[in-house]
Chains A and B, each alone.
Chain A
Amino acid sequence: MKNHAKIKEVVFWALFFVIFGLIPLLEKSDYHLILANHILIWGMFAMAFNMLFGVTGMLSFGQALYYGLGAYSVGLMVKNFGDIWFLPAIGLGLLSATLVSILIGLLVIRVSGVYFTVLTLAFGQLVWQITFKWYHFTGGDDGIQSIIPPGILANHTVYYFFTLLLVAVSIWVLRRLVNSPMGLVLRCIRQNPDRVRFLGRRVRRNQLRIYVISSFFAALAGGLMAGVDNSIHPDMFYWTTSGEVILMAVIGGIGQFFGPFIGAALIIIIQDVVGARTEYWSLIIGLIMMVMVLILPKGLVGEVQLLRGRFRPDAKNRGENGTTFSA
């Protein structure tokens, strides 16, 4: 078993670097580079989100808060102090996301289930409304434009590799985390928090930790995105952004570590292809969502594994492995 997991991991990384490393060389047009960049950033965002949802069982509907925080740290610093502050601003975004997530985290982890979901939504919407309203500081709904990364990073290809590197490191860190003893505790919390408590582990503290970690990477995604789009907007705080990341994770498969990344890629490509061809995109995306939820509930990656499990004589847990997180 362990060997196979190793192989799977090696294959993922090899493919990851080959595909995303080759895109800038194969493609002469900027657009696919940007599309791939979006996939990388959203993919990381979705994986970080899934640390909360898929691993620990905490459905946050407010991760957009940290995504926006990361983006606005960069936007405001670059706008007010110049583009040389781009990289320190990403750091500032990470720092503020950590602090804010500790504060809000202490409030929201007191409740669980749908209450947790709604509470995170409430905080996200509050920050969205403040950003929207505080026109003179944040630029209100107009957002902030002309966020150009400094020096050599202004080149799209260089910036692309910069994101690729950071995303790869982030995914690696998250991967280590899932396989660590803490990851095990988190997965146990998802299944039976009381038992974890009986075993002498602190449930709340671990929940807070993973909330902060997930928010940290959400802020990194936001900061990196500001450099790709060159403009930011309060929509980044809005509940639809949180909703999108949930959608990506579920479509890819929340029970799989790499599932959310595949989900992000799929959603971005679908949006692009469908959006370019019809004005009834919301009907089509809605129908796709419906089919996914009703027919393929384990997400794309989960269903594929399940399907193979059916044909495997030595399968231990046929049909069951979607409900536990397979790392």
Chain B
Amino acid sequence: MLKHKNLTLILLAFLVFVVWPFSVSAQEKIIKIGAMYPMTGRPGLYGLDSVDAAEMAIEEINSKGGVAGYKFEFTNTDSKAKPDYSVMVAKRYITQDKVHFLFGVVSSAVGLAVTEVSKQYKKIFIGTDHASTQLTTDKLQPYYFRVSNNTFQSMAAGALYLKELKQTKPWETIAYIGPDYAYGHDQWDELKYNLDRFGVKYKAVGEYWPKIFAPDYTAFITSIGNDKPDILVAGFWGGDTVAFIKQALPYGLLTKTLYFHPDAGGNYELMSAMGSDLPKGLVLSARHHNNWPDTELNREYVKKFFQKTGRYPTYAAEGAYAGIYAIAEAVKKVGNPDDTEALVKAFEGMKIKLPEDPDGFTSYIDPKSHQIVQDQAIGVTVPNDKFPPAKLMLGEWKVYKAEELLPPKEYIDKLQKK
């Protein structure tokens, strides 16, 4: 009986697997980007759009000869939106594949886990699409930079919008519904904080916390209907927004109450999914809009993305696009992608013109918080069929200046104490 022989074989095969060196030799001068976007399930669309947009930016830069003699090389590993798996992938990128930059991620939980790895290994992590304010406040570490807005900025813009609204359409009561996890809770806390900060008087009549990805909102809708708020603030993202609006429509909730969704509500996915079923008059915003600002850069960006993929981008795409251009800018300044400390200096305070910048404004990375500072526009749904399959898009824009949206110092202190 030679049972151990097979066992030996298995263990040997396994040894070969583990120790197998699958690193690629790099002769060319290359900037390696290791991305961790989810490609499956609910956040899959965000990952797909981000990867397409990053690749588009890279094609643009590489076709012009790259930067400082370097060409971009981009790999994405499906993070499955799982933090523990993403930590493994990040460590593989750093120690095995020798990437120069960690890149991406859609979920804040994954972002928080990866920023920890980035800190330990002193490897720059460019955040493109996760909104938790913590990453650029109390959990900030020197090697993290974010090139899309956080929830605090969206909610500050939202509070300003509600303040102005008082003059044209007096309102008093407000209710909130958002997914029952950090992203949903942060938005409501930050909105209340900003309303207080701007001296807006309000009465909160209801707070509702459905599970993320909950299929059924009927009970929430009838309960909100009973509260009769003037304003209903929503903090969903993705398919949850679609499901909530579809279920709320026949109850007439969205006509009696102003639906207000300033962080992710104005994402193109909602317009494209609902087409002509989307009601007019919803007040929404997102981190990028396909029809605002009406600048050459934005029109070009949206057009190119459509030509490449056959669909219009969601906001996630613009974050990834911006991330690649920010890296290119930093490498250009430093001259190579290896000097991490110099690159950090180059990112701090970097000015970069992005598709979502209106004329006369250039996005910049705040050197203290490593957070990109951008203008934000909030719009109302109006008929517009230039971006099919959407039948309505946002319009009647109100634009808020970037500087007004940053978290004040005492807010950051408060977070740090927690």
Contacts and interface: CB of A to CB of B under 8 A. Distances in A.
Do A and B originate from a single complex?
yes
Interface of A: 1, 4, 7-8, 11-12, 15-16, 19, 23, 26-27, 29-32, 34-36, 38-39, 132-133, 135, 140-143, 145-146, 225, 229-231, 233, 235-236, 258, 262, 265-266, 269, 271-273, 275-276, 279, 281-282, 300-301, 304-305, 308, 312
Interface stretch (B83-91, B196-204, B313-321, B360-368): B83-91
A265 B15 CA distance: 10
Contact of B91 (A31, A140, A233): A31
Contact of A141 (B39, B77, B78, B182): B182
Interface of B: 1-4, 6-8, 10-11, 14-15, 17-19, 39-40, 76-78, 80, 82-85, 87-89, 91-92, 94-96, 108-109, 112-113, 115-117, 120, 132, 134, 139, 180-182, 185
Name the prevailing secondary structure of the A interface residues.
Answer: helix
Contacts of B7: 8, 11-12, 15, 258, 301
A29 B96 CA distance: 6
A142 B14 contact: no
A246 B415 CA distance: 40
B112 A143 contact: yes
A201 B8 CA distance: 38
A233 B83 contact: yes
B109 A141 contact: yes
A23 B87 contact: no
Contacts of A273: 17
B112 to A, nearest CB: 5
A292 to B, nearest CB: 15
B139 A145 contact: yes
Nearest to B89: A275
A143 B109 contact: yes
Contacts of B1: 1, 4, 312
27 contacts: A4-B3, A11-B7, A12-B7, A15-B7, A15-B8, A15-B11, A19-B18, A27-B19, A31-B95, A133-B180, A141-B182, A142-B112, A145-B113, A230-B87, A230-B116, A231-B84, A235-B82, A269-B14, A269-B18, A272-B92, A275-B85, A276-B92, A281-B40, A300-B10, A304-B6, A305-B6, A308-B2
A281 B78 contact: yes
A231 B19 CA distance: 26
B10 A304 contact: yes
Contacts, number: 136
Contacts of A229: 84, 87-88, 113
Contacts of A305: 3, 6
A269 B116 contact: no
Contacts of A132: 180-181
Contacts of B3: 4, 8, 305, 308
B280 to A, nearest CB: 34
Candidate in B76, B139, B182 with the most chain A CB atoms within 10 angstroms? B182
A38 B87 CA distance: 12
A38 B83 contact: no
B4 A8 contact: yes
Contacts of A39: 18
Given A265-B14, A312-B1, A231 B82 contact: no
B8 A11 contact: yes
A175 B406 CA distance: 59
Contacts of B15: 19
Contacts of A262: 10-11, 14
Contacts of B88: 34-35, 38, 229, 272
A233 B109 contact: yes
B65 to A, nearest CB: 29
A273 B18 CA distance: 10
* 8 tightest Cβ-Cβ pairs between the two chains A and B: A11-B4, A279-B39, A29-B95, A30-B95, A31-B95, A141-B181, A31-B96, A233-B83
B116 A231 contact: yes
A236 to B, nearest CB: 7
Contact of B18 (A7, A32, A233, A301): A32
A301 B18 CA distance: 19
Contact of A135 (B40, B87, B182): B182
A146 B115 CA distance: 10
A300 to B, nearest CB: 7
Contacts of B39: 279
Nearest to A10: B4
A285 to B, nearest CB: 11
Given A229-B84, A308-B2, A30 B19 contact: no
B112 A282 contact: no
Nearest to A16: B11
A30 B2 CA distance: 36
Contacts of A35: 18, 88
Contacts of B14: 19, 262, 265-266, 269
Given A34-B91, A229-B87, 15 more contacts: A31-B96, A32-B18, A132-B181, A135-B182, A140-B182, A141-B182, A143-B112, A145-B115, A229-B84, A235-B83, A265-B14, A275-B77, A275-B78, A279-B40, A300-B10
Contacts of B76: 279
A122 B369 CA distance: 43
Given A23-B19, A143-B83, A30 B78 contact: no
A135 B39 CA distance: 27
B120 A230 contact: yes
A23 B180 contact: no
A279 B77 CA distance: 7
Contacts of B11: 15-16, 19, 262
Nearest to B23: A29
A315 to B, nearest CB: 9
B4 to A, nearest CB: 4
Nearest to B81: A235
Candidate in A16, A142, A281, A308 with the most chain B CB atoms within 10 angstroms? A142
A140 B113 contact: no
A318 B414 CA distance: 70
Given A30-B95, A230-B116, A276-B92, A142 B109 contact: yes
